[in-house]
Chains A and B, each alone.
Chain A
């Protein structure tokens, strides 16, 4: 199975900060990566697919980049509603797997 390693596992940031989360795959997955946001008690919400395509309705401050084994989710200017846990997910091959998550907390 392809392993995804996210870093950091948590971070503290302030409103307006630029935030970057990294996801590294154990083998090359081309651009077969998605990013999700999850708030407490809620289901995950798709943000980015195909590594860099923004899901409809998702604010443009969210962006994704990368291919192969190294990927990045960037939040351009952190807003109060962005404090949540973020997960990457690969869809290059079964079993579909997720990174361990990055929790973005208020500084």
Chain B
């Protein structure tokens, strides 16, 4: 079955960077694009961007342009999301989620279990 396993919780100071990983299994890693989303405590869902694991191309939400970098390692079927210049408002659960249909602008299925990133001095 398709599984997305994310790295563990992180605590960072303001101004630092965090790198979250998402290891995929159960399907051909390079076939499906992968998204990153986040959810602040008690808040709704926010899309951050997408990476094509095959070629590594990315599209980021304008809000995160210049602060987010998504990469992948095809040898380990893992995608990464690095967010820099962290501030308290970046405290959130970060999710990776696979696209629902190959190569399409579509929905998210399945999702990783999430990684809590806490930004605090």
Contacts and interface: CB of A to CB of B under 8 A. Distances in A.
B107 A89 contact: yes
A91 B46 contact: no
A44 interface: yes
A87 B44 contact: yes
B109 A46 contact: yes
Interface string A39-66: 0001111100100000100000000000
A93 to B, nearest CB: 7
Interface string B26-45: 00000000010000000011
B111 A96 contact: no
A101 B39 CA distance: 12
A30 B47 CA distance: 20
A95 B44 contact: no
Contacts of A92: 105
Q: Contact residue range for chain B? A: 20 to 34
Given A44-B111, A46-B100, A91 B105 contact: yes
Interface in B87-115: 95, 97, 100, 105-114
Interface in B52-80: 59, 61-62
Given A87-B45, A98-B44, A44 B108 contact: yes
B56 to A, nearest CB: 18
A10 to B, nearest CB: 13
A100 interface: yes
Contact of B46 (A44, A46, A98): A98
A94 B107 contact: no
20 contacts: A32-B105, A32-B106, A34-B106, A36-B108, A43-B97, A43-B111, A44-B108, A44-B111, A46-B109, A49-B107, A49-B109, A89-B108, A91-B106, A94-B61, A96-B47, A97-B47, A98-B44, A98-B46, A99-B44, A101-B45
Given A46-B110, A93-B105, 6 more contacts: A36-B108, A42-B113, A43-B95, A46-B109, A87-B45, A101-B45
